[in-house]
A and B are shown apart, each in its own frame.
Chain A
Amino acid sequence: MSDVVLALAINGLVWGLIIALIALGLSIIFGLLDIINVAHGDLFMVGTVGGLAVTVATGSFWLALVLVPVLGFVLGLVLERVVIRPTIRQAALTIVTTFGLSMMLQEAVRATYGAQPRRMAPPIEGTVPLFGIDYDVYRIAAALFAALALAGFFLFLQRTKLGTWIRAVRHDPETATALGIPVARICGITFALGTAMAALGGVIAAPITTVEFRTGVDILPFCFMAVVIGGLGNLQGTVAAAVLLAVMEGVVTSVSDPTVARIVSLAVMSGVLLFRPHGLFAGATR
């Protein structure tokens, strides 16, 4: 019994880090562009399908791990220009347009890739002993990839000129414009970065999840919960909330079932909205 709890808690941590990566993309897009991207889960799904497709075509998962986020970035640039920018600053309209985008992405994948769910073999086979249980090596690697990507993203935000510009535009786009910062370009790059992060999360998750056109549907509510619990636009809070929620769901699942675990997560989110409407980690450095 305790082994099951431990395994599910570790699974939760692994998923939490991957979801943190995806939710971080959602949060930074919300923080900068003020849009609720309903299609964000589907961008993750495109990452899983892209990861599988590139791995099958080239025989190299590692190439997919590099190539798919780059393609995701390019896709994000195009989507921001064609879908997001025409409706920017009109929150209600962006929900409709991104919902339409979600449908289009799902149907495009179903039309080209098929509706059949598929599994992808992990690029690293085998298990290692971890806290007294045998645990998949790839899951540990997946957690490491996600953690590295998260750390890299925060370093990028803090240490590079582009990252500083993104933080400035998030805070005050008008003054940023007056200082010569190309705000429209920064918005495009930020949306593309969010898309690339979702795609990267998709490639990392592909060997440990089902790859199909609806994969993103399940993950989107979880990402939204992480963003709400962490505090809207609070990036560190989003990461912490994603990991906490996933571990909690893992532990609850070990003594109950996944539906009860999701209900508990929703109850936590409701509690946060009632008692700390700005998020559990409001006030943390953004």
Chain B
Amino acid sequence: MTPPPGAEPPPATRPGPPARSWKRRAGRRGPRLWPALAAPGTLWILALFAVPFYAVAAVAFGYTDPIFNSPVPEWDPRYWDLTAFGEIVRRSLYGDLQPVFLRTLLYVGAALAVCVLLGYPVAYYLARHAGRRRGLLLALVLAPWWINYITRMLAWLNLLQDDGYVNDLLLFTHIVSEPVRWLSGNPYTVVLALIYGYIPFFIVPLYSTLDRVDERLLEAARDLGCSGRRAFWHVTLPLSRHGLMTASAVTALPMFGDYYTNTLVSGSPTTTMVGNQIEFYLLGGTRKELGASLVLLLSALLMALMAYYLIASRRAETDLT
């Protein structure tokens, strides 16, 4: 085999003390090559992820220009002004934002509960019993993942119109006597839309955990006299705890920041969520420091949730070993 152009000859054929010079050269070149490869991407993420996050803080803790009455970001932490952030915290605890936070929590909680109740059986069937149809089913379950989110909502908007297919069906089967008004501030529609939007993100990580559960453990449980149901409760369910938590985190995080689902299927102030308030203050009004404060508050809550998830999932892993 001819050595590739530009390469030095194999060290064994070289006279003198080849091993050391070869090693020295690699040692010189290597440590510099890898950081050099990683540098552009790292700098990119620093400049366009870390710095922007700092910009949120700078705007939230900035001051209001007395002449133009417009918010001015403060980049120096020594001069940060906590007035706007304090206002947001106060309003979230006692004021007009309190119901918004509670509503967000309620909607996300309800949607997540249905995701568990519906998603677990689907993931379980897919991992354990799908048999020959598994490839097909997996592809079908994955499909919504890659259909544009807004398109999927658009699909429901078509179906849920006053004269749409859903009302046709409900009227035809005499479940309701007049068309349900789904799309004007109906909280059930918002929760259903959230479930529909995010459940694929719940099923897939759960499936991959259930798929890895060792079949022999279940056989052992059965050999020791466990019924199928007891084997599920005592073997499969504890083993899938980690997957359940991952799936919940993966679905809950984006749901907390969702505003477009709500706008699309409801658009009414009676179903406003935190995300809608952020959008309103940042893109709509002149009080961007309030929007930025709200982003900080939401991020803090989500980080607490993430920290809990990381601790709990580490505990779940050590419990297994």
Chains A and B come from one and the same complex: no
Q: Which residues of A contact B (CB under 8 A)?
A: none
Listed in ascending order, the chain B residues whose CB lies under 8 Å from chain A are none
